[in-house]
Amino acid sequence: GEDVEQSLFLSVREGDSSVINCTYTDSSSTYLYWYKQEPGAGLQLLTYIFSNMDMKQDQRLTVLLNKKDKHLSLRIADTQTGDSAIYFCAEKSGNTGKLIFGQGTTLQVKP
């Protein structure tokens, strides 16, 4: 069945780059997403990539997709303390509206 896996925790120093990784199993995924959740808040859509793309860059965020290995990563350049949050990877397969979420990676940014 469909499954999305992420590491649970990442700690970086302010100013460093952060790389959050995700693997998925559904080879028919059409879109892959990164969401950010701050404490007590909903999920904020950060960026998404269509499955026929390898890379997408948006300001400090770079998404890399390796479709062969079913691996997705989110790189945050010049990480700030405000980037501390839980980051969720999600995939959407086929023509359904259903998103499958990973368990989330907690990013801790130390000053």
Binding site for other proteins (CB under 8 A): 31, 35, 41-45, 48, 88, 92, 95-99, 101-104
CA distance 16 to 80: 8
Count other C-beta atoms under 10 Å from residue 32's C-beta.
Answer: 25
Minimum CB separation from other proteins for residue 103, in Å?
5
Side-chain-side CA neighbours of 5 within 13 Å: the count stands at 7
How far apart are CB 31 and other proteins at their closest, in Å? 6
Q: Smaller CB distance to other proteins: residue 12 or 21?
A: 21
Q: What is the DSSP string of 59-75?
A: TTEEEEEETTTTEEEEE
Least distance from C-beta 67 to other proteins, angstroms? 18
Of 13 and 98, which CB lies nearer to other proteins in the complex structure?
98
CB of 6 to other proteins, least distance (A): 10
DSSP classification of residue 27: T
Cβ proximity to other proteins, 82 vs 97, nearer residue: 97
| Other Cβ atoms closer than 10 A to 91 | 26
- Return the number of the residue (41 or 55) whose C-beta is nearest other proteins: 41
